[in-house]
Amino acid sequence: MAKQLLLIDGNSIVFRAFFAMHNQMEKFTNQAGLHTAAIYGFKLMLDHILKEVQPDAALVAFDAGKTTFRTEKYADYKGSRDKTPGELVEQLPYVRKLVEASGLHAYELVNYEADDIIGTLAKEGDQAGFETMIVTGDRDLTQLATDHTTVAVTKRGVTQTEEFTPAYMQEKLGVTPRQYIDVKALMGDSSDNYPGVTKIGEKTAVSLIQEYGSLDGLYENIAAMKKSKRKENLINEEKIARECQDLATIRRDAPLAIGLKDIAYQGPDEAALIDLYQELDFKSFLKELGAQEGGAQVDQAPIEYQVLDEDNMALVDQLGATVCFQLEMPDANYHESPLAGFVIGDGKRWLVSRNADLLTTAPLKKLLEDPAVERDVFNAKAQLVGLHRLGVDLAGVDFDLLLASYLLNTSENANDLGVLAAAHDYHQVQTDEEVYGKGAKRAIPADDEVFFTHLAKKARAIRDLKEPLYQQLTDNEQLPLYEDIERPLSAVLAHMEITGIHVDAATLKEMGSKLVEREAELEQAIYQEAGEEFNINSPKQLGVILFEKMKLPVIKKTKTGYSTAVDVLEKLADRAPIVQDILAYRQISKLQSTYITGLLKVIHQDDQKIHTRYLQTLTATGRLSSVDPNLQNIPVRLEEGRQIRRAFTPSAPGWKIFSSDYSQVELRVLAHVTGDKNMQADFLAGKDIHAATAKRIFHLQSEDEVTPNMRRQAKAVNFGIVYGISDYGLAQNIHVSRPQAHEFIQSYFKEFPGVEKYVHDIVELAKQQGYVETLTHRRRYLPEIHAKSFTQRSFAERMAMNTPIQGSAADIIKIAMIRMEKALKERGLRARMLLQIHDELVFEAPEEEIAILEELVPSIMDSAVKLDVPLKVESKSGATWYDLKK
DNA sequence: CACTTCACG
DNA sequence: ACGTACGTGAAGTGG
């Protein structure tokens, strides 16, 4: 088989890719704000063509600059072109990098266009017996087609092409490739700005060339041509036609410094591609490489380890005073995950085992429980819980790779050691997904070598990343956040998770059976009203019933169809009785599936408790989240749902549930960080803040004049400020017109000038430094603050306003939790902290300790930090979580 | 696995 | 003109 030569017209493909993806251009930017759509499109084209042609030699030709021999000869050549957009120019260097990393040669030649390079090499290819494929976005190159050279011209996108061979050109255009030049000479080319002969377009040009064979043939025989205006033009403009012919002719003898022998194609340089994709944020392509090559980017060099067993435990005593440790739990839920093995080591030696029970034996248990040993881990909280299951009390941790990574960049919230290591440019450890697989195929490898190597490399990664990450925390002024807040908090959270909260299954089941009955009634009523049975839980089917069959007005649409969300249904409620029933059905079915069935599934049979997991390294703001199950969204707003809380009871008779929550903590933080004197004055005076806000923005004499509706609106404005206000959002929320909402905001800013200054300044700060911070220097990067897209940029601006507020509130309660845990211990109280719900702490305690908690908990919470306004804490207690009373 | 909906702060 | 309130998790549907 003949050798294959691939020649790509770089500039024209990049242009095509850029304009093909122009409408989604803003979706394709990397973190640094670089546009990447054209690079992306180019990559798609490249993949496509490399699949079709397996080249032995390949080259991408680029234009060297604006001036070429053509512009020297003809000043107007390409003179009408618009300036290349900046969004495209910035991508060109990356396209070259992509080309080179993909194993193709890139070439340009001063004074020549890419076409000429391609023409010259195609000729060399023909002579050397190659089969050549030329890929371009420019039809002019079809003149290069021969029996051994095919010209693929992109159409519409960049991956679909039309392939021009001499035969196809004859059939489609009626001329040969060589004749195509002469056709162009007569008709001209407006995009390249050469005119051709007056009044001759493509049709005429083609028929003339067909008749006379060529431009030369035409002028040789022109005297015999019938007298006409056209003949006159042809004669008068012969010079132009000859010039245009010269311009249209692609050179096949450009003085290239390279030849076919220099452009052998040997496949991609994966490491370079990975670096490039990382810089460009091409996640899907990164994934492809990882999947195809099994993590080729990871250094696969072996690591030395020793397998521990009962007989060589003495090795443990030889470890130094600083050890990296990991109890391996393959399932995310470490309360239940199998304990697959462990690794412990000090950098000199890595000891591994599949037998987690060894950890309960003397030298290892002692090492883990000795406060004098410095232990470094990945996810201290998980290690604490896992070891607790073995009866080992991990005494404390120095470096937690997961926690440190999260603080350095709260948006990089992966939960996998390999992924995070790679994010810190460390490539000597694989991800769990790579080693263990995913989905149903996920399993601990049976092969000792594979499993132990992975464990040892994880431990080594913890060790290798310790110094650089500590250094970065220090540089960011985040060391106190790490050492004084997050690290101690991980132990507090572990303790809360292990303690769990008692849930009475019988109560839930009883509620469940009542709900099932009511659900069935509503279901029948809905079918009746609809006149047919359908799946009420399917928004799609429901949409058909409501908006097609019953012809109710469509208020809002989603990506996929009609919206049937609450706010829509509420607007339709008085038009058809079915809507009320659907709302009621939804409410009940939510309670049933999420809160009755859902919670019953996660009550542990041995202790009748639910043990949630708090995710400490997930949210971008610094809040916790709660999973398996989520105990931070147990119903409270509506009475029917609130009943669920009856099932949450103390774990011992004679005990009670106790809860304290911060009152308006986010607004107090707002008053503090903005320094707004009016808002601070209202808080210092102990006022009802929403009423006080209403009095100010509605210009009332006293708070007595505030109507409930005014207070409600003021409250919404306060929330809006915290969320990063917009008139649109506020208008939606309180159902007023957008100008009206705008008025509210202006009035608010006038009354609270410090707040206005803050929302302006924080966005500027985010733009200037690239991130915002909370009270404790928790950081959130906002690269999209520079986005050109209004939507994206606006999002980032609201995050800039909201994150310091929400995040500082999170800081405050975290500090309180650490102090609270300590206080309970110091005072020898039996009370236990069970739940954190963002601004609320829930405890259980013996009845006789409730009075103590009523003093202690608020005093610790309200003194967690010193703000310019007081923190206010309210407490309640009761027999169950439902029954809490002041 | 994406999408929609709805529970919480 | 653009077109959204901030931060989460779970369940169900349907491709």
Task: Determine the angle formed by the axes of helices A37-52 and A92-101, rounding to 10 degrees.
Answer: 30
Of A74-78, A166-170, A814-818, the least confident: A74-78
Nearest protein residue by Cα to C1' of nucleotide C12: A537
The Å distance, CA of A62 to C1' of C15, is 43
The Å distance, CA of A593 to C1' of C9, is 14
Of all nucleotides, the one whose C1′ comes closest to residue A620's CA is C7
Of all nucleotides, the one whose C1′ comes closest to residue A539's CA is B4
The Å distance, CA of A626 to C1' of C7, is 12
Of all nucleotides, the one whose C1′ comes closest to residue A588's CA is B6
pLDDT of A294 over the 50 cut: no
Say if CB A417 and CB A461 are below 8 A apart: yes
User: Is there contact between A666 and strand B, defined as CB under 7 Å from any strand atom?
Assistant: no
What is the mean predicted confidence (pLDDT) over A859-886?
Answer: 97
Helix H or strand E segment including A92: helix A92-101
d(CA A408, CA A780): 9
- Residue A135 Cα to chain centre, angstroms: 34
The Å distance, CA of A838 to C1' of C8, is 10
pLDDT of A693 over the 70 cut: yes
The Å distance, CA of A718 to C1' of C7, is 16
Of all nucleotides, the one whose C1′ comes closest to residue A621's CA is C7
Give residue A286's pLDDT. Answer: 74
* 3-state SS assignment for residue A213: coil
Of all nucleotides, the one whose C1′ comes closest to residue A630's CA is C9
Q: Name residue A625's beta-bridge partners.
A: A615
Of all nucleotides, the one whose C1′ comes closest to residue A557's CA is B4
Task: Determine the angle formed by the axes of helices A665-674 and A753-769, rounding to 10 degrees.
Answer: 80
DSSP assignment string, A251-317: PS----S--GGG-B-----HHHHHHHHHHHT-HHHHHHHHHHHTSTTS-------EE--GGGTHHHH
Give residue A814's pLDDT. Answer: 98
pLDDT of A432 over the 70 cut: yes
Of all nucleotides, the one whose C1′ comes closest to residue A722's CA is C6
Long-range contacts of A595-599 (CB under 8 A, 24+ apart): A595/A508, A595/A634, A595/A635, A595/A641, A595/A644, A596/A508, A596/A509, A596/A511, A596/A512, A596/A515, A596/A644, A597/A512, A598/A629, A599/A503, A599/A508, A599/A629, A599/A644, A599/A647
pLDDT of A191 over the 90 cut: no
Say if CB A91 and CB A35 are below 8 A apart: yes
Residue carrying structure tokens 């000090």: A346
User: Is there contact between A838 and strand B, defined as CB under 7 Å from any strand atom?
Assistant: yes
Nearest protein residue by Cα to C1' of nucleotide B9: A838
Q: Name residue A843's beta-bridge partners.
A: A658, A833
User: Is there contact between A24 and strand C, defined as CB under 7 Å from any strand atom?
Assistant: no
What is the mean predicted confidence (pLDDT) over A569-573?
Answer: 90
Nearest protein residue by Cα to C1' of nucleotide C1: A790
Give residue A292's pLDDT. Answer: 43
Q: Using alpha carbons, select from A385, A341, A381, A382 the residue that is nearest to residue A364.
A: A341
Of all nucleotides, the one whose C1′ comes closest to residue A537's CA is C12
Give residue A293's pLDDT. Answer: 39
Of all nucleotides, the one whose C1′ comes closest to residue A535's CA is C13
d(CA A459, CA A265): 40
Contacting residues 540-599/A vs strand C (CB within 7 A): 540-541, 589, 593-594, 597-598
Residue carrying structure tokens 């915290």: A722
Contacting residues 722-741/A vs strand C (CB within 7 A): 723-730, 732-734
pLDDT of A821 over the 80 cut: yes
User: Is there contact between A615 and strand C, defined as CB under 7 Å from any strand atom?
Assistant: yes
Burial of A580 per CB tally in 10 Å (0-12, 13-18, 19+) = middle
pLDDT tens readout for residues A701-725: 999 999 999 999 999 999 999 999 8
User: Is there contact between A573 and strand B, defined as CB under 7 Å from any strand atom?
Assistant: no
Q: Using alpha carbons, select from A373, A371, A334, A375 the residue that is nearest to residue A356.
A: A334
Q: Name residue A161's beta-bridge partners.
A: A154
User: Is there contact between A716 and strand C, defined as CB under 7 Å from any strand atom?
Assistant: yes
pLDDT tens readout for residues A479-494: 999 999 999 999 999 9
Amino acid symbol at A697: I
Long-range contacts of A492-496 (CB under 8 A, 24+ apart): A492/A817, A492/A818, A492/A821, A492/A833, A493/A381, A493/A614, A493/A616, A493/A624, A494/A380, A494/A381, A494/A384, A494/A385, A494/A388, A495/A821, A495/A833, A496/A614, A496/A832, A496/A833, A496/A834, A496/A835, A496/A836
User: Is there contact between A633 and strand B, defined as CB under 7 Å from any strand atom?
Assistant: yes
Say if CB A618 and CB A625 are below 8 A apart: yes
What is the mean predicted confidence (pLDDT) over A841-854?
Answer: 98
Radius of gyration of chain A (CA): 36
The Å distance, CA of A841 to C1' of C11, is 27
d(CA A295, CA A309): 31
User: Is there contact between A650 and strand C, defined as CB under 7 Å from any strand atom?
Assistant: no
pLDDT of A863 over the 80 cut: yes
CB atoms within 10 A of CB A704: 8
> Which bases in strand B are touched by protein, i.e. have an atom under 7 Å from a CB?
1, 3-9
Of all nucleotides, the one whose C1′ comes closest to residue A733's CA is C5
Helix H or strand E segment including A345: strand A341-345
> Which bases in strand C are touched by protein, i.e. have an atom under 7 Å from a CB?
1-15
* 3-state SS assignment for residue A391: coil
Q: Which domains does chain A have, with CATH numbers?
A: 4-173+251-262 (3.40.50.1010), 306-475 (3.30.420.10), 504-602 (1.20.1060.10), 617-673+770-886 (3.30.70.370), 677-751 (no CATH)
Of all nucleotides, the one whose C1′ comes closest to residue A638's CA is B7
User: Is there contact between A248 and strand B, defined as CB under 7 Å from any strand atom?
Assistant: no
Judged by phi (left if over 0) then psi (alpha if -120 to 50, else beta), residue A174 lies in: left
Give the E-state strand segments of A371-415 in sequence order.
374-377, 399-400
pTM attached to this predicted model: 0.71
- Preceding amide of A629 cis, omega within 30: yes
Spell out the alpha helix ranges (H) of A431-476.
432-436, 448-475
* 3-state SS assignment for residue A571: helix
pLDDT of A282 over the 90 cut: no
Residue A626 sits at φ, ψ, to 5 deg, of -130, 130
The Å distance, CA of A813 to C1' of C6, is 18
User: Is there contact between A635 and strand B, defined as CB under 7 Å from any strand atom?
Assistant: yes
Q: Using alpha carbons, select from A640, A660, A716, A569 the residue that is nearest to residue A850.
A: A660
User: Is there contact between A558 and strand B, defined as CB under 7 Å from any strand atom?
Assistant: yes
The sign of the CA dihedral A831, A834, A840, A846 is negative
pLDDT of A23 over the 80 cut: no
The Å distance, CA of A232 to C1' of C4, is 65
The Å distance, CA of A415 to C1' of C14, is 29
Q: List CB contacts of A732: < 8 A, sequence separation 6 or more.
A: none
CB atoms within 10 A of CB A737: 10
User: Is there contact between A581 and strand B, defined as CB under 7 Å from any strand atom?
Assistant: no
Of A267-281, A579-593, A746-760, A793-807, the least confident: A267-281
pLDDT tens readout for residues A399-419: 999 999 999 999 988 999 999
d(CA A726, CA A738): 9
pLDDT band at A447; cut points 50, 70, 90: very high
Look over chain A and give the mean of its residue pLDDT values, rounded to a whole number: 92
d(CA A305, CA A448): 11
pLDDT tens readout for residues A516-545: 999 999 999 999 999 999 999 999 999 999
What is the mean predicted confidence (pLDDT) over A368-378?
Answer: 97
Q: List CB contacts of A467: < 8 A, sequence separation 6 or more.
A: none
pLDDT band at A170; cut points 50, 70, 90: confident
